[in-house]
Structure 1
Amino acid sequence: MEIVIVGRHTEVADRFRRHVEDKLAKVSQLAPTARRVDVEVTHENNPRLAGVSERVELTVRAKGPVIRAEAAADDRFGALDIALDKLTERLRRSRDRRKDHRRNNGVLTPVDVRPYDAVKASEPQAEPQPEPATLDRPGDAVERQLGDSPVVIRQKLHHAEPMTVDDAVEQMELVGHDFFLFIDKESARPAAVYRRKGWTYGVIELDSKVEGAEPVSDLT
């Protein structure tokens, strides 16, 4: 299993890299098909956010849905521990769900909605890499500042496959988001599922269909 560690607006010391590799060794036990774990370390320079200045994001890419977790703390070692606890819980949940499907003779269709970012572990990370000027391929991302304000808007292009609402809810839980954008397999419309109170969820659909997508009910 490959572990790729990158720094965003920060350097990643060899000591922390070795620590990450040791900590992530147990991922392969919960996800035997995992081919790669992406680790992104981000440093926030704003003094007002000193308590959460170090953010660690973990993304497991395997034969199945992408599973992700992130956390922030005042140091990256603590952020890693919190993110790893979240990731471990989601890996167990995904493993148990696969077992339930096999027992019920169900079919689990893996859907990878996050792009495979081609980042080499050997590349120097001292300087942040320039962002693409346009969003042409899945994985491209751009950042822009809103006028003279401190607001920064980040845009990223993702690959998407049509899926059911149930699959979208599962994907949202596995990546730890409060919302999830997808193409509804039954209606061929762009949609978003979002978390409400407790264990309830909401779904919003747009009134136009995605070009080239066909509703399942219309297929023969």
Structure 2
Amino acid sequence: MQYLHPYKALTSSATCVRYVKSLLLRQLGGGPSVFGSGDEKILALSGFYPEDWPAVNFLTLMLYRWKRGELDLPPVAAAPVVNERAFTGSPYGREGIDVYFDFLELKRQETREVTAFYHKARPNVVAVFLGGREFEVAATTDLAAQTLAVRRVSPSPHTPEGAATLKYSHALVFKIPPSPREFMPLTRQVADLIKTAASLPPQVRSTVKVERKDIYLLHGGREVEDGVVLDNDVYMYI
């Protein structure tokens, strides 16, 4: 599916996933799962479930406007479409079938790639964009919730926004409504929230030494002679 202009494509409810990836590749570089250089303060994620198409388009539009100088944002890395099966009508569930984006079990290559990028970059903020009936904002740390005057949530660690709370970052969760007419005014509001969150002091995790297992290394552990040193809480959930 081709469009004459990215604005038209990204405010459509029928945008092609390949078009989104191609646009981000031109604007941000990187890929195929993560678009970024690895030194960004912000990691933006979207595209986990079929109903997330508004979030994917919105995030891509926001990044497109940022690269054109129309929005003020800190450096952002993004993984807007991490599993194309979510957009082709494949059945999915949380029991018996692989979860689309499981940071803890790392079953999918896309998940492993984004997780490795996350541990390398250690972004200050993870911004998760999901589809929703109306626009909502929540944060996963007390400091971010108080600073931004938004609701605080404690999501499951088996979700993208929950995984961020186990590691190093403040996580912001944005629900994007399926109304492309609202995208343009919302991009500036969301950009302001992300910019404010990026100025917050980073999360600090105490270090813990655990028995050596490959999965701990995949989750960012540092190998030592008698085990693995972790500076996040993911070991509690594996």
The TM-score bracket by the shorter chain reads: under 0.3
In the superposition, the TM-score normalised over structure 1's length comes to 0.26
Larger radius of gyration: 1
Compare the two structures and name the one with the higher helix fraction. Answer: 2
In the superposition, the TM-score normalised over structure 2's length comes to 0.25
Bigger relative contact order (CA 8 A; separation at least 6): 2
